[in-house]
Structure 1
Amino acid sequence: MKKYVRGLAIVGAVTLAVAACGSKPAEDSASGGANKDFKACMVSDSGGFDDKSFNQTSYAGLQAAVKEKGLTEVKAESKSDNDYPTNMTAMVQAGCKIIISVGFKLEDATDKAAQANPDIKFAIVDSAPAKPIANVKPLGFNTAQSSFQAGYLAAAMSKSGKVGTFGGIKIPPVTIFMDGFAEGVRHYNKQKSKNVQVLGWDDAKQSGLFTGDFEDKAKGQNTAQNLITQGADIIFPVAGPAGLGGLQAAKASNGKVNAIWVDTDGCESAAEYCSVLITSVKKGMDVAVQDAITSVVDNKFDNSQFIGTLENGGTSLAPFHEFDSLVSAELKAELEQLKADIVSGKITIASKAQPKAS
C-alpha cells in the first residue's frame, strides 16, 4: 500500500510520492529560487496541514522561509501515527537540510532520525529531547500564559457562570492550555469575588474531557454539546480539527454560546466561525519555524530551546474581531495588566505542562 506526501505548488515546491517500503521519493522541483538546492522540509502530525490550527500555523512558517530565502519546500502529511517513521525517513532520503517535526507525537521518530543523521538539522514543535541532541532545536510555547488571560476573559464574559474546555489527547501541549484557562478563571473569581465554574477540566486532579484524537469533528461537537447542556456558555476547545466540532456546536446555539480558539487566530484560519469567536490563544509557531529554517540557511543554527512567551510575543491573545465592542475598556485594561503581571512574575502560573528552559 502506498502513502503519498503532497506538495504545494509555490516558490521552489516539491511533490513527493513515498512508498511504504521507504523507496526514494520522486522529486519535481521548480527552478528560480536563490537557494533552490536547499531543501527545507516538514512532517505534520496526523491532524494534517489544513487543520486550521497547529499544523497549518507551522506550515505557514515553512512557506514564509521558502519565500524569504528562495528555498525548495518538501512536506510530508501524516495520516496516522504509524506514518511518522516512514515520513521522517522520506525526508532524510530527499536530501533535506532541515526537517521540522510538527508535534509532540513525532518526538521518537525525530530523535532517532537526528541521531542517525548528524549532518541534517532538525527542529521539533512542542517537544524537547530528554537529553539535548546537537542537531535538534526544540520549539516550545508557554501557552499557559495567554490561556490564563483567556480564562479570565471567559469568566468575565460568561452570563451563565459556567465555562467549559476539552482537549484532543491528554498530552502536555494540550493540557497546558487547559491549565492556564482554569487558573485564569480562578484568578478572576478571586479578584471579583465570583464563582464561575470550569467544566471539562480539573487542573488540580489533571482530569477532564478528551475526544481521544485530533481528527474527529463529530466527537468534538458532541463533547462541546455535553458542556453546553451542563450550562457552559463559553467553550475553549484544545483539539485541533476535532475542536472545530466545538465551534459548530457554539454556532448552532444561535448566539447563546461563544468560544475561544487556540493556536491560530480563528477568525483568520476558520473565518466561518468568527461570529462565535471572542478571541484566540495564538501560538507563534509560524515565526519560530521560519526562524529555525533561516538560521540553518544563514549558518547560525543552535540547539538551544526556544520558548514562546507573552514577553517575546511567542504566544498572545488575538484581536477580539466581532466581539471588540462587547469587551469593555475596563476588561481590556485588566487583560493588559494580567500580561504585565505574568511577564514581571507578580502572577505565577502553576501548570506543570509549561516548557522548561534546557
Structure 2
Amino acid sequence: MTINTRKVAFAGLATAGVIALLAGCGQAPAADNGNGSEGEALDFTPCMVSDAGGFDDKSFNQLGFEGLTEAAEELGVEPITVESAAETDYGPNVENLVDQGCDLIVTVGFLLAEATGAAAAANPDVKFTIIDDYVDLDSDGATDSENIKPIVFNTAEAAFLAGYAAASYSKTGVVGTFGGIPIPPVTIFMDGFVDGVNHYNEVKDADVKALGWDVAAQNGSFTGGFEVGVDAQNLAQGLIDQNADVLLPVGGPIFQSAISAIRDSGKEIAMIGVDADLYETFPDGADLFLTSILKGMKVGVNEVVLAAADDEFDGTPFVGTLENEGVGIAPFHDFEGKVDAELQAELDEIRAGIIDGSIEVTSPSSP
C-alpha cells in the first residue's frame, strides 16, 4: 500500500565502537550499596510502555527495553512494563502504569505523544520520558509539561552516510526505501538516505536512482503500519522489480518482510537496517546487511532512568547527533571486502563535514 503525505513535525548509535545507547510488578529488592553488601531497598519504580511493534521487534522498542532493564538491574529495582498491541492501547497502558505507582514512565515512540502529554498534565508528580517526540501538542515550540523529558535524534545525519554508502555499493544504479507510517521518526531516515544518494551523485558525477521517497514532496511508499506481513513484502518486491539492489525499510520489524522478498528473489540484494545494528540483533539476516543506521535509544533511556532515580531528572531534551555520537552507522561487517576500498575514508570525511557544517544535512523532521 502506498500513502502520500506531507507532514512536518519534530522527530527523532554511533559509528562502530561507540557505546550503545518487562511485564510485571513486584517489591523492589534490596539495593547493592556498591561494596557487595545489600542496603536499604531503593524506593523507585521505572516503567515503560511499547508502541505496537512490541519489545521483541529486534530494533526500536527492544533498544529502549534493554536500556530500561539494564538501568533497573544497576539500581536493584523491579521495572514494570506493558506491551501495546495497537494504537488504542496507548492511553490505557500509560494510565495503567500511573495507577501502579510508577515514578518514571518511558513511552516508546512518536505515536504515544498524545497519551504521554495527557498523562503528564494530569500527573505532575510523575516523571515521563518519550522517545522520538517533544510532546508539543499545542505547537508553541516547547514541550507541554516540565515533567516530560524528550529523547530525540537527528537521524538524517546518519542516514545521509548510509545513503552515500548504498549508492557507492549499488551495482544496478538503483536503491530503494519504504516506511511503516509517514511520521517524522520514519521520514527523517528517508530524507537523509535520499540526500546521501544525491550527494554521492554530485561528488562522483553518477546517476544512482533512489526510489520510494520524494524529499521535495515529502511523500513515498508506506505499509500503513509496523507489522511484519504481506504489505511490507510487496513493497520490497516492487523495489526489487525496479532493479533496486539496496533496500532501506524503515519501521521496526518490517525489515523482516523485506528479507523474505530478497530471499524469494534469489538476487544479490543488500539491506540497510535502522535503529539497532541488525547484523547483531537479527543474525538470520546478517548476510544481507550492508550497514545499519543507529540511534542511541538504549543509552538514552538508561541515562534518563539512572538520573531520575538520583533525583536529577529534568525536562531538557536529549538530542542525538553525529557530533555527540547519539546517531551513526554500523560497521560493514560481511560487506567489508565488498565495498569500495576508499568508501570508509570518504564517509569519515563526510561525517566531519556534517559536524563542522560544511556539509548541510536537513530534514523537515529534524529535531
TM-score of the alignment, normalized to the shorter chain, above 0.5: yes
2:43 paired residue number: 37
Structure 1: 5+ residue runs without aligned partners? 1-12, 16-26
Check if 1:282 corresponds to 2:294: yes
Asked if 2 retains the 8 angstrom alpha-carbon contact of 1:250 and 1:259, the reply is no
Check if 1:210 corresponds to 2:216: no
Root-mean-square deviation (CA, aligned residues, Å) is: 1.3
Q: Secondary structure at the match of 1:319?
A: coil
The alpha-carbon deviation at position 137 of structure 1 amounts to 0.2
Amino acid at match of 2:111: K
Q: How many pairs does the alignment contain?
A: 332
Deviation track 1:45-102 (CA, whole Å, cap 9, x = no partner) reads 0110001111011111101111121122110100000001110011101111100000
Q: How does 1:1-358 map to 2 (within 5 A)?
A: 15=24, 27-29=25-27, 31-34=29-32, 35-130=41-136, 131-132=142-143, 133-355=145-367
- Quote the Cα distance in structure 2 between the aligned partners of 1:223 and 1:191: 30
Q: Secondary structure at the match of 1:72?
A: coil
Asked if 2 retains the 8 angstrom alpha-carbon contact of 1:218 and 1:242, the reply is no
Amino acid at match of 2:159: S
Query: Please, what TM-score do these two structures have when normalized by structure 1?
Result: 0.90
Asked if 2 retains the 8 angstrom alpha-carbon contact of 1:37 and 1:72, the reply is no
Q: Percent identity?
A: 47
Asked if 1 retains the 8 angstrom alpha-carbon contact of 2:59 and 2:274, the reply is yes
Q: Secondary structure at the match of 1:329?
A: coil
Asked if 2 retains the 8 angstrom alpha-carbon contact of 1:217 and 1:241, the reply is no
Structure 2: 5+ residue runs without aligned partners? 1-21, 33-40, 137-141
- Quote the Cα distance in structure 2 between the aligned partners of 1:166 and 1:116: 37
- Quote the Cα distance in structure 1 between the aligned partners of 2:336 and 2:79: 38
Q: Secondary structure at the match of 1:205?
A: coil
- Quote the Cα distance in structure 2 between the aligned partners of 1:14 and 1:327: 43
- Going from structure 1 to structure 2, the CA distance change for 1:312 and 1:192 (only over 3 Å counts) comes to same
Range that drifts further, 33-42 or 193-202: 33-42
Asked if 2 retains the 8 angstrom alpha-carbon contact of 1:251 and 1:258, the reply is no
Q: Secondary structure at the match of 1:89?
A: helix
- Quote the Cα distance in structure 1 between the aligned partners of 2:323 and 2:73: 28
Deviation track 1:13-37 (CA, whole Å, cap 9, x = no partner) reads 662xxxxxxxxxxx44463444553
Q: Which has the higher contact order (CA 8 A, sep 6+)?
A: 2
